[in-house]
Every structure is written in C-alpha cells, then in structure tokens.
Structure 1
Amino acid sequence: MAYQEAELVNWNEFAKTRAELGSAFLRILGYFREDGAKAISAIEQAIRERNAVALVTPAHTLKGESAQFGAHRLSSMAERIEMVARRCVESREGPDELIEIVVALRPCFTETMALLDRDSNPLVARRQPAFGRRTDAGPQGFGRSV
C-alpha cells in the first residue's frame, strides 16, 4: 500500500497503546513528539546532504514509534524512506527519489500529532454518562437536581 493511501491514525491501535501504557501514556507520547521531531530533522538534513546512510536510522526509529501509536501514514512514509535509503546504500546511489516524501513528512507529523494531542487531552470528556443521570442542564439550569 502506498503511504498516501494509509490512514492517518488507526484509532483502535491508538486506544490499545493508551490502555497498555496506562498512566505512562502521556509521558511516552511526549517522548514520541520529541523523538519524532528529531528524527524528521535528521532525515531532512540527510536528504539535503544526499546521504542515504544517514537516512536509515532516523527513518527506522520514526517508523517504529509511529506504528506504536497507530500513526499508519507516518509509519508508512518512514518505512518507504528507510527501504529506499537501504537500497541506495547498497547500490551506491543518491537518495534523490525520496525528496518528495521527505518534504511531505513534517506536515504529516504535524497533522498526526495534532490529532493525537486532541484525543489525548485530559480536558476532553471521554466518560459515558452515568446510568440514570441527565446529561444536560435542562430547564432547571446548572447544578439543580432533576
């Protein structure tokens, strides 16, 4: 599947990771934000230098961390960069064919992080209404019993 066809975030995988990480989830998501930004900067620098070797490790790291959070499009893009970079190293070619995908990488990361942040915001209500309680203030107004 081409990275353009991959879903931006698989919410089932995201929810699974969130449940597995529990109270560490927000901290680990923060690490992903930092590591992802560093990996993208390293990838951009490597493509400017036409250095296929320098593309492999940050692309591999970004691929795995993105997949952990269900960020399929970002993971697919990073995988493509990694695989082409490895081929370029073996064949001693420059990684010029990756320029388009590298240019699209940062906007994809930004869009993905905005979605993950929105869903991870502790201020966003996620609880289902308690059984038997009204969920709207109704005509009585806020704080009044029904």
Structure 2
Amino acid sequence: MIDWVVFARARSELGGGFVRILGYFREDGVKSVLAIEAAMRGQNAAAIVIPAHTLKGEARQFGAEPLGALAEKIETVARDCVERRDTPDEAMADVAALRQMFERSLAILEAEANPVTPRRQGFGRRIG
C-alpha cells in the first residue's frame, strides 16, 4: 500500500517537519474524503474535483500510491462528468472504497512515522 522509497524521500526532505506535515495530511484527507462523499450523495461532480485532486497529491507525497491512484480515478471521472454535464454515478464504487483505503493508508503511514513503533525489519536481519 505504501511505496517506501517515496516515503523515505519525503521523510528525508521534510526533516523535523515530517510528523507535522503528516498530521496535515490526516486533517486534509479527512476533509477531502468527507467532501467527496457529500458531493457524491448530492450528485455534484464539480464538487468532487478539488478534494479528489488534493487527496491525490498529498497521498502520493507520502508514497500512498494506491490511494493516490484511486483519488485520481475519482477526479478524472468527476472532471469528465463536469464536461458532459452529467452526474458522477460511475464513480460510486470508487467513492465507496475511498474512506477505507484512506484510513488503512493513514494507519500504515502513522505507524511507520511513530518513533515508539518498532520499525519494519529487512529480510535476514536479526532483532535483539
């Protein structure tokens, strides 16, 4: 679910601000998911575009590629629907899956960023 190379690069580039920026991702992501769900319920494709775009970029910044790809797919469908002046019905299944994917991705990212959580061990490395 996470591209650890991208995650490590973000952690390195953001330095001491990494945990704070990850917190912003949590806050913004929750808002984006809520906005996308509300827009879907209201059949408002235009209201899906910006939160999906935001979630896509922020997810990819931390290496949450499957989440970023899902947000991009939702964004693309919404943009197409805006151009066609259509409702975003075809995004229903993806929007329904979005919250769970966001929550799973965030949990993995936060666990890895937590200084008291044991780090993943590489193959063949002994603990202790």
TM-score if structure 1 supplies the norm length? 0.80
Q: How does 1:48-67 map to 2 (within 5 A)?
A: 48-67=41-60
Q: Deviations over 1:53-92 (max 9, x none)?
A: 0000000000000010000011001100111100000011
C-alpha distance in 1 between matches for 2:107 and 2:14:
20
Counterpart residue number, 2:81: 88
Q: Partner of 1:45: helix, strand, or coil? A: helix
- State the one-letter code of the partner of 1:70: G
Within the candidate set 64, 68, 90, 1:75 is matched to 68
C-alpha distance in 1 between matches for 2:107 and 2:10:
17
Q: Partner of 1:9: helix, strand, or coil? A: coil
Give, in angstroms, the shift of residue 124 of structure 1.
2.7
Give, in angstroms, the shift of residue 125 of structure 1.
4.5
Moved beyond 2 Å, runs of 4+: none
Q: In the alignment, does 2:39 pair up with 1:43?
A: no
Counterpart residue number, 2:124: none
Rg comparison, structure with higher value: 1
C-alpha distance in 1 between matches for 2:107 and 2:78:
28
Which stretches in structure 1 are left out of the alignment for 5+ residues?
Answer: 1-7, 127-134, 137-146
Q: How does 1:1-146 map to 2 (within 5 A)?
A: 8-125=1-118, 136=128
C-alpha distance in 2 between matches for 1:19 and 1:9:
16
CA RMSD of aligned residues (A): 1.4
- State the one-letter code of the partner of 1:62: L
Q: Partner of 1:124: helix, strand, or coil? A: coil
Identity %: 54
